[in-house]
Amino acid sequence: MLQLRPNCECCDRDLPPGSREALICSFECTFCRDCAEQRLRGVCPNCGGELVPRPARAERLLQKYPASTERVHAKTPCPS
Ligand SMILES: [Zn+2]
Ligand SMILES: [Zn+2]
């Protein structure tokens, strides 16, 4: 199951499970749209993979399959 992480790894902004501002790589590293486009230029800084829009999970499914609550921060500082 896709981990819906609660924050951007760069700027720590909240990214709720229904957000359209969240982008992920194939390892589920999660970034907001601003960081992904302006700071990272569409490339994940952790794995070098492509960042694509994260699909939203339907409200009724979140009760059974809740989003992750563990905040993750990038291991290396994101480019500014
Ligand atoms: Zn961000
Ligand atoms: Zn990644």
Distance CA 2, CA 65 (A): 10
Q: Distance, CA 9 to ligand 1 centroid (Å)?
A: 7
Tell me what percent of the residues of the chain surpass a pLDDT of 90: 91
Measured in whole angstroms, the distance separating CA 28 from the mean position of its chain's CA atoms is 7
User: Please, which pLDDT band fits residue 12 given cuts at 50, 70 and 90?
Assistant: very high
Write down the pLDDT at residue 77.
81
Q: What is the pLDDT of residues 21-53, one digit of tens each?
A: 999 999 999 999 999 999 999 999 999 999 999
pLDDT at 76 over 80: no
Question: pTM to 2 decimals?
Answer: 0.92
| Closest ligand, as measured to the CA of 27 | 2
Q: Distance, CA 65 to ligand 1 centroid (Å)?
A: 25
Closest CA to 33 of 19, 18, 46: 19
